[in-house]
Each structure stands twice: as C-alpha cells, then as structure tokens.
Amino acid sequence: MAAIKKDWRAASLESADRSLLGFAEKLTTSPQDMSAADVRKLRASGFDDRAIHDLVQVVSYFNYINRIADGLGTDSEDFFPPSAA
C-alpha cells in the first residue's frame, strides 16, 4: 500500500489496477480529455459497465467533495498527514 501511495506507477500492480488508476488520475487531472477510448481501455482490462460506472461515480464524488472542502477553506482532520505539495 505504501508503494501505491508513494508512486502508483512504480508499484508492483496488476495491469487491470494500472488501467484503473490511470483512468482515475486522468479523470481527476484532465477530465476534459476523457473519451470513449478511455472506457474501451478499461473494458479491455476486464472491467464491465457496472465497474466502470462505479469507478466514475467514486472518483467524481471524491473530486467533488474535495473541491467543496477546498472552496470553503476547511482544514484536514488531525489524523491526515500534511500534503507534500
């Protein structure tokens, strides 16, 4: 788990997990660049429509709620380590 937190690209992961994380990163950092090809890549990695739908819902909600917190200037809970950024 620590290797994934540090750099998921360098972590020892199954190809399906790499596809999932790449999709999640792209949806987070450049949602305007998402396309049907991204969904096809997930399908080719073994994800069905339900799993893809759930992935998009979870990633999008996480991004949404973080933007709400950022927009309101809320502080993280004490149990979260400080961001490296």
Q: Which amino acid, residue 29?
A: T
Closest CA to 55 of 69, 40, 45, 42: 42
Mean predicted confidence (pLDDT) in 66-81: 84
Rg (alpha carbons) of the chain, rounded to whole number:
15
60 is written with which tokens? Answer: 């999008």
Is the confidence at residue 59, as pLDDT, over 90? Answer: yes
Q: What is the pLDDT of residue 79?
A: 72
Q: What is the pTM of this model?
A: 0.82
Domain count, the chain: 1
CATH number at residue 27: 1.20.1290.10
d(CA 74, CA 28): 20
For residue 27, is it within any domain?
A: yes
Q: What percent of the chain has pLDDT over 70?
A: 93
Rounded distance between C-alpha atoms, residue 82 and residue 60, angstroms: 23
Identify whether 84 is part of a domain: no
Residue 37 predicted with pLDDT over 70: yes
Q: Does 40 have pLDDT greater than 60?
A: yes
Could you tell me the sign of the dihedral formed by the alpha carbons of 25, 27, 33, 36, in that order? positive
Q: What is the pLDDT of residue 85?
A: 55
Residue 34: give the domain boundaries: 14-72
